[in-house]
Chains A and B, each alone.
Chain A
């Protein structure tokens, strides 16, 4: 375990590195105000809390930049410590100079995630929020930012807590009967109980299912372009990107290695992977290696664009490529069928779910782009929905759903094994507690006592 030092002042750029119009730098710690006062002019004495002021950044007498500075007094700050946030111009040179100034005035460059850790150590964040904030820092695109924000504000916590409360109520019903020394409680209404448990299960499962979409938002959607040799995959990539990223030629097998490029569509990050054509013939060692890499890319795809040349008849290679895509793409991945080179072929009837596209004329590309991020958009359609973006939360929610799926089997027969049903409910609650970062066995007893008249 890494043991952090928490008594000093740290500084770091809060916006992603690289050139941008603006950059935000953050100082946090006991000496944050003093460090900032070392290079801001006029030097702020006792600055008001949370008020933005335009100040000069000076390295000695030299003017470095004009920056907006906001001072937050702990504990009313993100980290819970005294914090200064500086918005300066985004040139890497300016940013580096200001960081150096902060360090020479007593701050230390922060390690990745250290602000969040401090916020966490100072009791400003619960576990679920802390993770979301970590992701907030990483998120590159607008949509990822939105998903992280919803979670940081407790969207996920709120939905998980609602499921938890439902389960606590159900468990109390079981516990009241298991601990009933005088066998006074009326028999459990098994069907209603099983229905309520199923409702909770489906809620947990739905949250978990959002993971694929949620992950796409954070890490970018992985789209693999696949198909028979010379079906026009690389031309399609170039057309989507609007630049000549991939080398193209009329010769089959031009693309040997896989090639990646990213694009932002409606605020969502999409990572395209162009792959070597899949052919049944064993070609050169180089071709075989290209196909091996193409297959590996398919195994990690969120979406597969299966490209077929619409100007020629379906070949065994086309059929082989379709088979390979179906076999290798992970469960839940979408396979979109693309009929390429539309400008060269007669317009016939389009198979259901297929897209007719032309790299040359741009036909069908807009429709394809929209379709690519449709799933991600759905997640946001109803406003601030909880989105599961962390693998840890996904596994906890899946586990809860799996435990609840085992309940119905324990609620059957003349003498249903209620103690085993309780065991699964407890398992589900423990899994949800991992997301919420809290444990609550006492709540169950409180539920028993407030709803049941249990004798001595």
Chain B
């Protein structure tokens, strides 16, 4: 078949329409880049393939940061919110995080509408089969239907679709999500371009029909009244709010699972790839935490207009009839009807150690990657990377400096640096534990941290800048005990400034300490390691460190220091070596 060359050349071509792809495409188009979003299926744009919820500890902070940079996720989550909760209210503000269950279909449609209404953004349904290369750079994408789309940059957000295989019991079949075909061709194309690919596993629980749930046996988890919006630009949540329900595994649950372990693809050895330790399947929980007794389960509505419930905590890949037995061993679910079975999925990811801080890949400049293809899990993690990749692809196409967020500026920075510096050995999820400057990175100050960048980039409406600047001044004034000036109209109010200033005061001493450390680290961030630096010749370095450095090729001395297995002594030594090399080169 002869290829059809699409006549236009795009600035940014986004492959994939999930949470990463949507943010990437919107950001690029908003920055003025001529953008194409290519997806297998326009009906599954921004689909929440697993739980119907956005946010959580760490993740909620990410959504606030995405919003502060002009991303879409927070706004759409607010529009579709059906049960909003602020987490960790009994703990300090630094770990307080918003989370909400959202109407899945409403979320998708709202995002689809945002994409469709975005000038400069073209949406096309086709399967990307090949990343095209020209002169050592990404040059576009060839599709399964033999169309060639040329572009200056490509943002790949393939999710779990690269050579995806779904497991239910000992049955397995190709799929990128239940009932959706995988992208096998694209995986082959990446391998051909020299990318290191690995394999990961994740899973999802079954969905139940509401009529089979005895809610009287469950604890009601009331939504906050009123729930706090994710977005800085949402006035208030207008949707009616629904409760979630809590129940727990029963006395018989462990027995049902233990008896069926030989039929588990995880325990029979059929699945060899690594799943996330923090989001274990119920069979993992029973085996690894035998003394834990009952495990909590959360029943979350999937939407306003559907009877489907998501069973948070029962992720499993056991055979369907065993899943039914498991569910029925739970209080309140004795007569439950499974509408969709839980399953595990294995997929290819691209080693994120091949990325630069901009999310551009080092093996193929011009190609960016974001989301699960980089080995992460979670809608929020994906959206955050999509936003950064979209911004950087658009800016690169326009010949502008990239956006790089440091670890002390946001969880976005923590996540990207973790991925780039350390690579992964299980699906990566953000945790506040991962942030060394946790008290700086709060949900309440995401705007103070990142809105200046959002305005500067041009992703936030310029008309609000005065309101924001006055707000930032007011927080500073209040913190110093002064009387703030009135604010110009806008989403930022004096009331909010007072609340933020109070939090700043509580953390003041610690924040100063965090800032001092961040300042020290900044010095090492500035010490770039030349890309041709030879670790093989750096024999003074211990083998383990040399091996790690060779593998990850850190971009800066600071990044080298964050690699596990690389000690401060190694960094000192590396510093000596770099300095030596620098002086040698300077000699005539």
Contact = CB atoms under 8 A, between A and B. Distances in A.
B252 interface: no
Contacts of A434: 568
B431 interface: yes
A121 B312 contact: no
From A4, A427, A454, residue with most partner B Cβ within 10 Å: A454
B222 interface: no
B580 A455 contact: no
A3 B580 contact: yes
From B59, B88, B292, B575, residue with most partner A Cβ within 10 Å: B88
Contacts of A4: 576
Contact of B510 (A184, A423, A444): A423
Contacts of A444: 433
A448 B575 CA distance: 33
B298 A182 contact: yes
B493 interface: no
A453 B91 contact: no
A415 to B, nearest CB: 5
B526 interface: no
B543 interface: yes
A420 interface: yes
Interface residues of B, number: 56
Given A439-B561, A444-B433, A454-B278, A419 B579 contact: no
Given A1-B576, A455-B312, A183 B87 contact: yes
Nearest to A127: B569
A93 interface: no
Nearest to A178: B95
B569 A120 contact: yes
Contacts of B57: 178-181
From B58, B95, B296, residue with most partner A Cβ within 10 Å: B95
Nearest to A437: B569
B183 to A, nearest CB: 25
A287 to B, nearest CB: 50
A456 B51 contact: yes
From B432, B433, B561, B564, residue with most partner A Cβ within 10 Å: B433
A34 interface: no
Given A178-B91, A415-B90, A449 B278 contact: yes
Interface in A410-456: 415, 417-420, 422-423, 426-427, 433-434, 437-439, 441-442, 444-445, 448-450, 453-456
Contact of B285 (A122, A127, A419, A453): A453
Contact of A123 (B289, B543, B568, B583): B543
A445 B579 CA distance: 34
Interface string B327-365: 000000000000000000000000000000000000000
B315 to A, nearest CB: 8
Nearest to A454: B278
Interface string A327-370: 00000000000000000000000000000000000000000000
B541 interface: yes
A428 B286 CA distance: 35
B301 interface: no
B220 to A, nearest CB: 15
Contact of B295 (A422, A423, A441, A453): A453
Contacts of B97: 181
Interface in A160-214: 175, 177-184
A419 B510 CA distance: 11
B567 A438 contact: yes
A121 B292 CA distance: 48
A311 interface: no
B178 to A, nearest CB: 18
Contacts of B579: 1, 3
B542 interface: yes
Nearest to B430: A179
Nearest to B93: A419
B529 to A, nearest CB: 17
Contacts of B315: 456
A433 B513 CA distance: 18
B5 to A, nearest CB: 44
A17 B279 CA distance: 64
A73 to B, nearest CB: 16
A126 interface: yes
Nearest to B298: A182
A4 B577 CA distance: 10
A417 B91 contact: yes
Contacts of A104: none
A249 interface: no
Nearest to A5: B580
A315 interface: no
Contacts of A262: none
B163 interface: no
From A1, A419, A456, residue with most partner B Cβ within 10 Å: A456
A442 B541 CA distance: 21
B277 interface: yes
Interface in A309-325: none
Interface of B: 50-51, 56-59, 87-88, 90-92, 94-95, 97, 99, 277-280, 285, 288-289, 292, 295-296, 298, 312-313, 315, 422, 429, 431-434, 436, 438-439, 510, 513, 539-543, 561, 564, 567-569, 573, 575-576, 579-580, 583
23 contacts: A123-B541, A127-B569, A130-B569, A177-B91, A178-B91, A179-B58, A179-B432, A181-B57, A182-B312, A417-B91, A419-B91, A419-B92, A422-B438, A434-B568, A437-B568, A439-B567, A441-B436, A444-B433, A453-B289, A455-B278, A455-B313, A456-B50, A456-B51
Interface of A: 1, 3-4, 6, 120-123, 126-127, 130, 175, 177-184, 415, 417-420, 422-423, 426-427, 433-434, 437-439, 441-442, 444-445, 448-450, 453-456
